[in-house]
Chain A
């Protein structure tokens, strides 16, 4: 495929045994990944997990230590960035400060000698609703506008593969939704392959067909967003993608249909098909919105798990739902999201409650959760500062 012409359709991306080492640390341990043509693929992970490095490898801005990269079946491992049918929307936008917005958008088209570069650039700017600012310099635009220009500059080239490096980070919620929709529309219309790198799980889940959760240079789990959310395989995925209540205990009994785990004296049953491990010490979990709060001890039932009694230690109202945190002796804390539909109990702090959830919503993990990391308070200033520092260090390392 020549870079001289527009991609007719998206191309497959295949990463085979990719490893990337930098002096002093390994960014990517071992990565095998196939992204089918025309899909919207999100690489989700915390800062420093190697997702941006993966993106840069695909763009040709870094060379892998070992492994091969194939785009549309063609091995591009040895080719330079400008020879790859790939465009990137950079996290820093990287708009050329010495060119007008229009010149920025037309840059790629001119390099490929595609006719009517300016006309097409105007068209792309109209798409992101910035055509009226075509003659401005990037520095005269707001952060959100710059981001849209960066997007226009990439999609105007109709690349076989579009790489997005946290491209919607600086947008406000409304514009973000609008751009998400816009991106989705463009992707469906043209059938391009999108590889989206983000740490925003909501963005990944709403936009992508397939999400791969990355941690410490390797992919932890990959699948459709709903699948990942409903059935996380590791404690990292369970906590990074939404919230989870995780309980660790020994398997006390198992049948073909279900396993039951001993959690501080109580039995928690998980369908065998939803549990990764069936013997020994295991971690099981449930999503907070699947859990119901009860004022009275419920009757024992084989299709519900019950834990309690415990006390409500925190109630926070967020409009659509209310989040309760229940401390259960011997078990720890359980988070419950209750929809504010008017049904169900409304309780205050200190009230004695039981928590219950249907057996079919539980899941069993492949690893054992670290108890300390489970509900680490991440809202106090010291931990935010520590987290920020870690992010910065990770960023520096990535650079």
Chain B
């Protein structure tokens, strides 16, 4: 804090022209990569989304056009999937946050005195990454299938109706999404909480705030950068996820998300314009939601 006064010291401009040329040179590989693998496919996707079926063509043959009706069609055909995608992603984000915050708080704040424990717990958080995402989700499918030990036990204890299922329900999909994205929530939360200056919490309690108020008024606002980063890292991929909701994994016919619809349109129905239009909608919706979220959470100056 005492050094904050020095941080505004002016930066001395050093030979700007020469430096900018070197900077440009160093940026070149990155820029080329972006143009080749991001901008080009994006334009191609945009163009595909406006295509129309080729005259006298086979299934899967399209020609370039300005067929914006594609967007109207997919919106009216797939609006439940769009709503479901964001609903599931939101639920998974909230659950992951509720689960990760205490965990990250424990590792980053309470366990500070024991670096060994901190390290061990962080390894445990990251450990699932050592096994493929698909394998882990398949394992959950096995563990939670109708014949599995867990489900038969729950049924035997009358905690589940005898004819109920777990896999194929929205709950199973949200469970899978939450499980798969928890490390992406925990790690950013941990990095901000690990740097949390406990003297602010002491100052809060010195100023008559009870522990809950200190948490609400001091801890949460100070960990906002981690919360924003974690929720974005969870929400964005969860909204576009097509593995958990897939019939082959934890989902069922009624739990299809946008990712599944895009996959089906691209690979099964060969309706490329519809798939491309859905992809663009997904991307735009996420951009708008994230923009509003970052603006509303007021963390521009904290990020």
Contacts and interface: CB of A to CB of B under 8 A. Distances in A.
Q: Give chain B's interface secondary structure class.
A: helix
A94 B221 CA distance: 15
A59 B4 CA distance: 27
Nearest to A137: B301
Interface in B184-223: 197, 199-200, 202-211, 213-214, 217-218, 221-222
Given A94-B202, A97-B222, A87 B302 contact: no
A82 B203 contact: no
A86 B1 contact: no
Nearest to A106: B207
A90 B199 contact: yes
Contact of B208 (A90, A93, A112, A140): A112
B5 interface: yes
Interface string B45-83: 000000000000000000000000000000000000000
A65 B56 CA distance: 90
Given A93-B1, A146-B1, A108 B199 contact: no
B291 to A, nearest CB: 22
Contact of B4 (A3, A96, A107, A139): A139
A82 B209 contact: yes
Contact of B199 (A94, A107, A142): A94
- Point out which of A95, A98, A141, A153 has the most chain B C-beta atoms below 10 A from its C-beta: A98
Contact of B207 (A93, A157, A170): A157
B192 to A, nearest CB: 12
Contacts of A107: 204, 207, 209, 217
A92 B1 contact: yes
A16 interface: no
B218 A96 contact: yes
A99 B298 CA distance: 12
Interface residues of A, number: 33
A83 B300 CA distance: 35
Given A111-B209, A146-B1, A98 B221 contact: yes
Given A93-B1, A139-B4, A87 B207 contact: yes
Contact of A92 (B199, B208, B217): B199
Nearest to B214: A82
Interface in A162-200: 170
Contacts of A140: 4
Interface string B98-128: 0000000000000000000000000000000
B4 A80 contact: no
Nearest to B301: A137
Contact of B203 (A80, A90, A139, A146): A90
B184 to A, nearest CB: 24
Nearest to B4: A139
A88 interface: yes
A138 interface: yes
- Point out which of A92, A94, A146 has the most chain B C-beta atoms below 10 A from its C-beta: A94
B159 interface: no
A81 B205 contact: yes
Contact of B206 (A61, A92, A93, A138): A61
A81 B2 contact: no
Contact of B210 (A82, A88, A92): A82
Contact of A94 (B4, B7, B200): B200
A25 to B, nearest CB: 16
Contacts of A60: 205-206
Q: Give chain A's interface secondary structure class.
A: loop
A18 to B, nearest CB: 19
Given A92-B199, A98-B221, A87 B206 contact: yes
A247 to B, nearest CB: 42
Interface in A134-165: 138-143, 146, 153, 157
Contacts of B210: 80, 82
A59 B209 CA distance: 13
B118 to A, nearest CB: 18
Contacts of B5: 141-143
A88 B205 CA distance: 10
A80 B218 CA distance: 18
Contact of A111 (B4, B199, B208): B208
A93 B1 CA distance: 8
Interface string A96-124: 11110000000110011000000000000
A209 B194 CA distance: 43
Contact of A143 (B2, B200, B206): B2
A142 B207 CA distance: 23
B120 to A, nearest CB: 21
B207 A111 contact: yes
A157 B206 CA distance: 11
A140 B222 CA distance: 17
Interface in A258-295: none
A60 B203 CA distance: 11
Interface in A47-68: 59-61
A82 B221 contact: no
Nearest to B221: A98
Nearest to B201: A94
Interface string A375-387: 0000000000000
Contacts of B211: 80, 82
A94 to B, nearest CB: 4
Given A61-B202, A81-B202, A95 B207 contact: no
B222 A98 contact: yes
B257 to A, nearest CB: 36
A107 B214 CA distance: 11
Nearest to B203: A94
A98 B207 contact: no
A305 B207 CA distance: 56
A81 B198 CA distance: 14
Contact of B213 (A94, A99, A111, A142): A111
Contacts of B205: 60-61, 80-82
5 contacts: A82-B210, A88-B206, A90-B199, A111-B207, A143-B5
Interface of A: 3, 59-61, 80-82, 86-88, 90, 92-99, 107-108, 111-112, 138-143, 146, 153, 157, 170
Given A96-B222, A141-B5, 12 more contacts: A60-B205, A82-B209, A82-B214, A94-B197, A94-B199, A94-B202, A97-B222, A108-B208, A138-B1, A138-B4, A143-B1, A157-B208
